[in-house]
Amino acid sequence: MLIEAERLSKTYTLRKKTSRLKRERTTVEAVRDLNLAVPEGELLGYIGPNGAGKSTSIKMFTGILSPSGGRLRVAGLEPIRDRKQLARRIGVVFGQRTTLWWDLPLRDSFALLHRMYAIPDARFRENLARYVDLLDLGPLLDTPVRQLSLGQRMRGDLTAALLHDPSVLYLDEPTIGLDVTSKMVVRDFLAELNRERGTTIVLTTHDLDDIERLCRRVVVIDHGTVAYDGDLAALRARVAADRTLVVDLVAPGPAIDVPGTVVTRLDGRRQWLAFPVETNAAALIATIASRYGLVDVSIREPDIEDVVRQLYCR
Amino acid sequence: MAEPAGTPGPVTTYLAAMRMWARSAMQYRASLVLLMVNATLIAGLELAALLVVYGNVPSLGGFSLSEALYLYGTAQAAFFASDLLFTGTEYLGARIRMGTFDALLVRPVAVLPQVFADQFTPRRFCPLIPAFGAMTAGLVTAPIRWTWLRAALVPYTLLTGVAVFGAIWIFVGAFQIMVTDASEAMNVVTYGGQYMTSYPLSLYGRNLMLFLTFGVPLGFVNWQPTLYVLDHPDPLDLPSVFRFAGPLFAAALWGLALLAWRGALRHHRSTGS
């Protein structure tokens, strides 16, 4: 097992000022009794609503935060005690917060990592060539990072996190804000990395597409503990989240009454209708159009938030 | 598991990070030049103020202009050399608030050297120019009866000063972790202290002098050894051994500072803020 957490917990003590003299102590259980075993070579989707304990647990896995209780081993090491050794075994991509040197060419950041991780020269050259080729970074190596687009910078961050051949790569929202092409490049790259090199990947995301295209296994964290651990299809079947049809009518009116749908929100001429995934959307739109004055429609697929929310509404 | 060969030690880590920051600053050459001129002028202006004061009185607290220049120069040089080397700890609060401190914690090298080098810029060399200028002018013009010991005490004063101020920068870092946005509160200790040691201690009265010599480490920065170099009697009549206690004091302060730093990191790990 690469990551082994047993009854892992993290409690924060907050001191809140309630009046000028009084301070109230409250304890918050950010993570409680979290059990997780990730074998080598896994590509894991690590999801959950904001504030559920995802980033707190990732910070414990990476040796940034110390656990308050339970047992944790990553690559056979104890993250806080063996911080430096662990750092050589893991790669971390912090999503929107780049770790590259903002004002210097991409190449310079890689050179610094070469030294800091004491990567043997031959291996560094080989890895750099490999990732530059896979992520198409060649023309960008001499560009200052501040001039790179978000997608280009993400590709740079991915390379930076992988130059020392980590066994496990943690990614926090790697596709957020990227255009469709960049998202595809990143996803294809991660899939190949996992397949070819056997790098274990722990992916935190709110993008259901990332999970659908990449992850064989999904772990849902809620209220600081594992709420679901299994494959995506089973999660979907269990929740069967609704799709949402957003319709704009000619004039404001009462809630649309069509069998098989429920109006979840009504705002002037605009109405939101929830309908099951298996319903034929085209037929549904036709039915509404024949009975109401329709101006515009759009369909929203259930995102991971909806799926997770539904998991808890039941 | 042993660390692989070539793993950078603290000094290598520090130099590598410092080089990256310096090169970052040099990307904006015109701006850097302007800022450097500006920093030199501001430090020079303070020196000019000292000269204006001495234009009106022949001596202050028993110190002539030459002696005051030496005193001022060594204090400034020690402080700004420590500023040059260690002041990265000041940016720790901002880093923690922006969440970029985590990036330093997942690298296989020591954390403190990375923090020391944070936001390094060649601009920090500038205030050293007037400082060393004043010190040299003081040394040349003051009636010093040179001995080997006195000559050795000049670099000794500077090094002890840099070491003591360096320890204070570590405390600043530890403090920043504990109270993330306390950057301003700590300025009272560092920049305020730098201002006080720049003037003859006897200006401030006996109680304050005692406080500065014992309560606050800054007295060691230049007061005691300078008294010896300038052959001045100590207004406090402390045993002369205090003039040479600086390194012991600096070492003890570093020990305490590193303990505080470790404690602060432990705190950070348990709270995440």
pLDDT tens digits along A97-153: 888 999 999 999 999 999 999 999 999 999 999 999 999 999 999 999 999 999 999
Given CB atoms, is A16 within the 8 Å cutoff of chain B?
no
Question: What one-letter code names the amino acid at B104?
Answer: L
Collapsed DSSP state (helix, strand, coil) of residue B255: helix
Contact A112 B20 (CB under 8 A): yes
Cβ atoms of residues B92 and B179 within 8 Å: no
Query: Rounded to whole angstroms, how far apart are CA atoms A200 and B179?
Result: 37
Of B25, B27, B109, the CB nearest to A116: B109
Kindly identify which residue of chain B lies nearest to residue A100, measuring between CA atoms: B103
Contact B16 A92 (CB under 8 A): no
Of A64, A115, A118, the CB nearest to B4: A118
Contact B100 A97 (CB under 8 A): yes
pLDDT tens digits along B37-59: 999 998 899 899 889 988 888 88
Alpha carbon separation from B176 to A1, B170, B214, B221, B267 (Å, rounded): 38, 10, 24, 24, 12
Q: How many CB atoms lie within 10 A of CB A2?
A: 20
Query: Rounded to whole angstroms, how far apart are CA atoms A114 and A169?
Result: 18
Contact A101 B20 (CB under 8 A): yes
Given CB atoms, is A272 within the 8 Å cutoff of chain B?
no
Q: How many CB atoms lie within 10 A of CB A229?
A: 15
Alpha carbon separation from A12 to A15, A22, A52, A292, B181 (Å, rounded): 10, 19, 14, 54, 19
Rounded to the nearest angstrom, the minimum Cα separation between B225 and chain A is 40
Q: pLDDT in tens for each of the 273 residues of chain B?
A: 456 667 889 999 999 999 999 999 999 999 999 999 999 998 899 899 889 988 888 888 788 899 889 988 988 898 889 889 998 988 888 888 788 899 999 999 999 999 999 999 999 999 999 999 999 999 999 888 889 988 988 998 899 888 888 888 898 888 888 876 443 444 444 554 555 555 554 444 444 444 444 445 666 667 778 888 888 877 777 777 777 778 888 899 899 999 999 999 988 887 754
ipTM value, please give it: 0.80
Of B4, B99, B106, the CB nearest to A62: B106
Selected residues 135-174 of chain A with any CB under 8 Å from a CB in chain B: 144
Q: Helices A150-162 and A106-116 meet at what angle, rounded to 10?
A: 20
Query: Rounded to whole angstroms, how far apart are CA atoms B113 and A116?
Result: 12
Contact A59 B108 (CB under 8 A): no
Query: Rounded to whole angstroms, how far apart are CA atoms B17 and A84?
Result: 17
Collapsed DSSP state (helix, strand, coil) of residue A201: strand
Of B16, B98, B102, the CB nearest to A112: B16
Contact A65 B272 (CB under 8 A): yes
